[in-house]
A = this chain, B = another copy of it.
Amino acid sequence: MEVNPILVVGGGPAGLEAARGAAELGYRALLVEKAATLGGEPIHADYATITPDLEDAGTAMGRMIDAIAGDPLVEIRKETTVVAAAGEPPELTVTLEGPGGREEVTVGAVVVATGFQHFDPGRETQLYGYYEFDDVITLVDAERMLKAGHFIRPSTGEPPKRVCFIQCVGSRDRQIGNVWCSKVCCGIACKEAIEIRQHLPDCQVFIFYIDMRMYGFWEDQLYWRAQEQQKVNFIRGIVTEITRRGDTLVIKGEDTTMGRPVEVAMDVVVLSVGMEPSKGTREMAEIFGLPLESHGFLETVGGPLDTVTTPKPGFFAAGAATGPADLEDSVSMAGAAAMKAAGFLRRQALAAAKSA
Contact = CB atoms under 8 A, between A and B. Distances in A.
A201 interface: no
A25 to B, nearest CB: 6
A334 interface: yes
A255 to B, nearest CB: 10
A26 B338 CA distance: 14
Contact of A346 (B26, B327, B347): B26
A133 interface: no
For this chain, the copies found in one complex come to: 2
Contacts of A217: 180, 295, 323-324
Interface string A180-223: 11110000000000000000000000000001111111111000
Contacts of A24: 339-340, 343, 346-347
A219 B60 contact: no
Contacts of A336: 21, 331-336, 339
A51 B305 CA distance: 10
A175 interface: no
A82 interface: no
A266 to B, nearest CB: 23
B323 A335 contact: no
Interface stretch (A95-103, A143-151, A256-264): A256-264
Contact of A25 (B13, B218, B339): B339
B308 A219 contact: no
Contact of A303 (B53, B213, B303): B53
A242 to B, nearest CB: 24
Nearest to A326: B304
A88 interface: no
Given A179-B220, A307-B328, A336-B335, A21 B214 contact: no
Interface in A273-314: 295, 303-308
Contacts of A258: 259
A346 B219 contact: no
Contacts of A332: 307-308, 329, 332-333, 335-336
A342 interface: yes
The 4 closest A-B pairs by CB, nearest first: A335-B336, A24-B343, A332-B332, A304-B327
Interface of A: 13, 17, 21, 24-26, 50-53, 55, 60, 63-64, 172, 179-183, 211-220, 224, 236, 256-259, 295, 303-308, 323-329, 331-340, 342-343, 346-347
29 contacts: A13-B305, A21-B336, A24-B339, A50-B305, A63-B305, A172-B219, A179-B224, A181-B214, A211-B212, A211-B214, A216-B324, A216-B325, A259-B259, A304-B326, A305-B331, A306-B331, A307-B328, A307-B331, A329-B332, A332-B333, A334-B336, A335-B335, A335-B336, A335-B339, A335-B340, A336-B336, A336-B339, A339-B339, A339-B342
